[in-house]
Amino acid sequence: MSPAEAQVLLSMAAAYDNRRPDPDAAKAWAAALDDLRFDDCRVALIQHYRSSTEWLMPAAIRTAVRKLRAKRIDEHPPLTPPPGLDDGQERRWLLEARRRVGDGEVIDSEAAYELVTGEQANFRELLPSPATTHPDLEEQP
C-alpha cells in the first residue's frame, strides 16, 4: 500500500472517529500495511466502523483482511487445476488461484482451465479477469 492510499484510509477513519491524519501517519500506516491491497483494507475499515466504536489501528485492519481473504477462499467452490500440469506447476497454479480468490475473484472452473493448443499457458492466462465489485460490503440481513 502506498502512502497516498494510506492517506485515503486515514481520511476515511477520520470521518468516523475525528482523528487528525497527517503525512507522517500515512507513511506509518503504509509501512504497516505495505503487503495488503487497498481495496481489502478499505472493506476492513468500513466493516470495523459498522460494528465498533473502537479506535482503529493497522493491526486490526491486518486481522480483518486476513479473515476476509480466508472467508473468500473458504466459500469459493473447490479449485481444480487444468489437466497436464506436473506437481510443481499444479502447486503454482493453486497458489495463484487461491491468491486471486482471496482478492475477490470468482474462478469459473470450466472457463478457467482451457489450455492453449497443447502449450502450458501462463497460469494467469488460465484464470478469468479480476472482479470489479465488492460483495464483502453488501448489507447483511
Q: What is the pLDDT of residues 66-113, one digit of tens each?
A: 999 999 999 998 888 888 888 888 888 889 889 999 998 888 655 454
- Answer whether 0.75 is exceeded by the pTM: no
Structure confidence at residue 83 (pLDDT): 83
| Model confidence pLDDT, tens digit, residues 10-38 | 999 999 999 999 999 999 999 999 999 99
Rounded Cα distance between 32 and 26, Å, is: 10
Tell me how far apart the alpha carbons of residues 108 and 101 are, in angstroms, rounded to a whole number: 11
Q: Which three cell numbers stand for residue 63?
A: 486481522
